[in-house]
Each structure stands twice: as C-alpha cells, then as structure tokens.
Structure 1
Amino acid sequence: MSAESVLIPDDRAFSNFKEECWSEEGWSLTYNKTGMTVWTQTIGGDEEKSLHKIKCRMVCKDVPAETMYDVLHDIEYRRKWDSNVIETFDIGKLTVNADVGYYSWKCPKPLKNRDVITLRSWLPMGSDYIIMNYSVKHAKYPPKKDMVRAVSIQTGYLIQSHGPNHCTLTYLAHVDPKGNTHTHTHTHIQSLSVCVCVCVQAMKKISKACLKYGEWKQRHTPGYKPWLYPEQTTLPTIPVSELSIQHADSLENIDESTLSEMQTREERDSD
C-alpha cells in the first residue's frame, strides 16, 4: 500500500489525536474567557503563507458527554441548529465506525462559500469520545464552480465526561481553507483572529444545541442513532479504493485578497 493510500484511522491514530488535544507544547494561548480557551499554532516558516492549527476547548457544566456526542453526529439535527450549513449528507460507509460525507458552509462576504469531502471516523474510549476527519477525493463529487473546495488535513472533536451532566469539548482543526485571503501580513493576522472568533461562536452554538437535543430527538426518530448502533445504517458500503487523498496543492488557489481589502475599505468608508 502506497503512502498516498487512504487509510481508515486505527487505535493509535485516535490516541495520537487525543494526545494532541491535550498537549500545550508549541501552542499559543489566544483566547481565554468564561469556560472557553483557544490556542493557535503556526505551521511552516513563512508567516504570510503558513497554515494554522486551531484548538478550542469549552467546559459544559450542563451537558452530558453522551448528548454532545449525539449532537455532533446527528446530521438531521445539524441542519436545524447550524445556520452556516448549506448542504450536508453522507455519501457511504467504509466500516462500522467510518464513513465519507459532504459538507458545505456559508462564508462571510466577500469570500466564496466552502465545501469539503471528508473521511470521518469515531470511537468511544471509556468515558471519552472522539470524532475526527480528513479530506478525501471521490470521483462523483468533484469541486463545484461556485464553491472553494477546502481541505481538512485533520479536524476533530474530543469529548471528555466529568460526571453525569458535565463534559469538556475540545475542537482541533488543521485546515487549509484555500483561496488566497492573506497576501499581506496584517490581513493574515486579521484572518486568524476571524478564525478564532468563528471557532468560539461555533462552540457556543454547539453547547446551546445540546440543551435542546433531547426534546428535538423525542420528536424525530428517537431510537435512530446509527453512530451508536451500526446495524441501523442505510448507507451503501463504498470501497476505500474509490477514494484518494485530497492534497491542498492540487486545488486551484482563488485569490480573494483583493475582495477582502475592498470590503475593508468599504467598511472604513461607511463608518
């Protein structure tokens, strides 16, 4: 099997992900407020062209870990609470705890909307739960003309239980959003602070969604949870051979920096 083959994560991959969620080495603390902490890490030497990792941790004192896990899995419920979602659907399953899915989301103007195809896998580990993904290519779902295909190098969630009604959610993202939005360092820093802000808002949204999930699920196929009961899935099985790794450098870089600067100028002028 070549290094370019698509691999379904094994136990070691999940353990490594969990370790990175809790490691603080090489991470810069950028936000710390009311139960929410965000760290960032720069990958690569060139500040203007480098990628970032972002890690966001939220303490939820009124949400059981099991509910958080269900909410992050439940695609029908996501369509209800995630106002950024344009379209999301599962393409097919690979194993009992791995599938392939499509997700597209709205980006703030003037940026183009993004979409992504990912191989997602999940694993309960004692009182902890992990859901993680990375980008893959599928011949039936090529990049769309009106969207920028983003690349998840590795993204995921670690949910840790601290009792019957108390959990911690850590979101770790190593993503290339594609598009060239930061040709100058100041807009680069600006785009990073936007990422931090978006991350914090998204985490708060997830927390609120968890509080309403029990009531919603009672009215929408309450027993249907294929992420817990794989025998319930109706997804077709797709062979791993139909997938290949999605590399960021194989996608076109759309220059959105002039758009960003124009918008910044317009905003300044309208103040």
Structure 2
Amino acid sequence: MASILPGEAAFADFKKQCLATENWLKKFDENGMQVWVEVPPAVKKNHVPKVHKIKCKMTIKDVSAATMYDVLHDGQYRKKWDPAMLESFDIARLSQNADVGYYSWLCPKPIKNRDVVTLRSWQTIDDEYIIINFSVKHPKYAPSRELVRAVSILTGYYIKPTGPNSCTFIYLSQADPKGSLPKWVVNKASTRLAPRVMKCVHKAGRDYIEWKEQNSPDQKPWLYPDQSTLPPMDPAELSIQRADSLENVDETSKVEAQDSEDSS
C-alpha cells in the first residue's frame, strides 16, 4: 500500500504550480501583492467550479524567508495574527516533517463557517521553503453539525529569499469549500479576503522575532524534530478525504439578495 505521505514529486509539482502563469487570471495587483484565480479551459459564463484555485504572491522587502517560514509553523503565534481563525491545533506527528492538524475559520455571513483536518508536510531545499497540506479523514475528528467540512485538495506556501531580509512569498490554495457557493463569495475571497489575510501574514512576519523572544524562543520543532511533543501516529490510520463523500450544503438561497447586489 502506497504511503499517504507526500514525496519529492508532490513538492516539485506544488512549486511548479506556484510559479506557473498559464490559465491564471489576475484579480488584484497593489503594493507588491498580486492575487490570481485559475481559469479552467472552456468555462461556461457564470459557472463557478466546485474546486476553487487561488494564488497570492507578495514581494516582501523587510522580512527574511526563514522568519516567514517560522511564522507559518508557529501554532502559538497564529492565534495572535490570523483574523479568520476560529480554532486550530495539531493532533499528531506522522514523521520528522509531517503532522496532522485541525483548523476552522470564519466565513462571510450568512455562509456557514468551515473546518478542515489536514496532513501538513514541509521541506527546505537549498534556500527554498515549501509547506503543503491536503485533507485527510481522522478516526477521531469527524465532521460536526455546526461547521461545513471543506476539503483541501492541495494548499500551501512557497517562500524564496531575494536577500538577507527579503523574500518572495506565494500562497496557493486548491480547495472544495463544499456547498453551492454564490459567485459573490468566490469573488470576495479573491479580491478582498485574500489580500487582507496576506497583509496580516506580512505584519506577523515583521513582529515575530520580538514576540518569539518572549515566548519559548528555543522551541522550533519544525526545525528541530526532537523538540516535538506531539503524540506519534501511524500515517496508515489516515486516508485522503474525498470531496464527494461529504455533505454538500446548498447556501445559494440564503444569499440571493447579496449575490445580485455584489454582481451589479
């Protein structure tokens, strides 16, 4: 049986997608930040595909790639800077560079909030940092009634230094949020929510070193696996979460008024 843990090819494929330009439509371009959405070939007018693929790129001139990488890994710090987060915690360690965790987030009203259980894996090659995740089924963390269980097909970050205190920072998400989402929600995610979150990440990078000096400065289990206090887990206990096995929630009727308002 093949291992669920991603191999070299998965990281190489993710990097390739981060740097690709074909079939991406730019939706936002301001202050060194761009946001694109993927345009699949031959899309019908007004058709919103179930899988939403979005890519955000920031040119960061005042924070090192290594610091931005630490920010993304540091679960304690995330509670300080992530405006969308409801709850987040690591569940278990799968290998030296992989774990499984839970994350839930706020969605624009009246859309229901979402959550995911994901396998996260990371890699540093030469001077490039890559973190990827995808949804898995965990025997103890089934979907709840209060939240819609979304599916990360492939989501992650690619960070490359451009100098000692500067970097290119790319976030790419390929996800099925489940539910028949109206067009305005998808548009708002790409043009307003994504840039706002990216700005928060950048500010978090600027503030991280000072914060970390006061909060377990020597604890970085993502760099030093021996420091991890997570219980080990056999990856074979997990399986990939397929989108079609989850309930599809129709949320279009709740927001028809908003839809017409936002698309006018």
Normalised-by-shorter TM-score class:
over 0.9
Cα distance change on mapping 1:49 and 1:29 into 2, 3 Å: closer
Aligned match of 1:121: 121
| Distance in 1 separating the partners of 2:12 and 2:247 | 34
Aligned match of 1:257: 252
Using the TM superposition, give the Cα deviation of residue 52 of structure 1 relative to its aligned residue in structure 2, in angstroms.
2.6
Give unmatched runs, 5+ long, in structure 2: none
Q: Does 1:221 align with 2:242?
A: no
Cα distance change on mapping 1:28 and 1:96 into 2, 3 Å: same
Q: Does 1:8 align with 2:8?
A: no
CA RMSD after TM alignment: 1.7
Using the TM superposition, give the Cα deviation of residue 39 of structure 1 relative to its aligned residue in structure 2, in angstroms.
1.5
Residue identity opposite 2:36 in structure 1: W
| Distance in 2 separating the partners of 1:44 and 1:148 | 29
How many matched pairs?
258
Q: Which runs of 4+ in 1 moved over 3 A?
A: 42-47, 262-265
Q: Does 1:193 align with 2:187?
A: yes
- How high is the sequence identity, in percent, across the aligned residues? 51
For residues 1-271 of structure 1, the aligned pairs below 5 Å read 1=1, 7-43=4-40, 47=44, 48-50=47-49, 51-182=51-182, 188=183, 190-196=184-190, 197-263=192-258
Using the TM superposition, give the Cα deviation of residue 42 of structure 1 relative to its aligned residue in structure 2, in angstroms.
3.3
Using the TM superposition, give the Cα deviation of residue 30 of structure 1 relative to its aligned residue in structure 2, in angstroms.
2.0
| Distance in 2 separating the partners of 1:99 and 1:73 | 11
Asked if the contact 1:43–1:52 (Cα under 8 Å) also holds between the matched residues in 2, the reply is no
| Distance in 1 separating the partners of 2:133 and 2:40 | 19
TM-score by length of 1: 0.91
Using the TM superposition, give the Cα deviation of residue 251 of structure 1 relative to its aligned residue in structure 2, in angstroms.
0.7
Cα distance change on mapping 1:176 and 1:71 into 2, 3 Å: same
**Offset from partner CA, 1:134-192 (integer Å, 9 cap, x none):** 0000010000110000100000000010111100110111011111123xxxxx2x233
Residue identity opposite 1:10 in structure 2: G
Residue identity opposite 2:156 in structure 1: G
**Offset from partner CA, 1:51-87 (integer Å, 9 cap, x none):** 2311110001001001000000000000111122111
| Distance in 1 separating the partners of 2:14 and 2:240 | 19
Using the TM superposition, give the Cα deviation of residue 236 of structure 1 relative to its aligned residue in structure 2, in angstroms.
0.8
Asked if the contact 2:4–2:240 (Cα under 8 Å) also holds between the matched residues in 1, the reply is no
Cα distance change on mapping 1:108 and 1:69 into 2, 3 Å: same
Asked if the contact 1:6–1:245 (Cα under 8 Å) also holds between the matched residues in 2, the reply is no
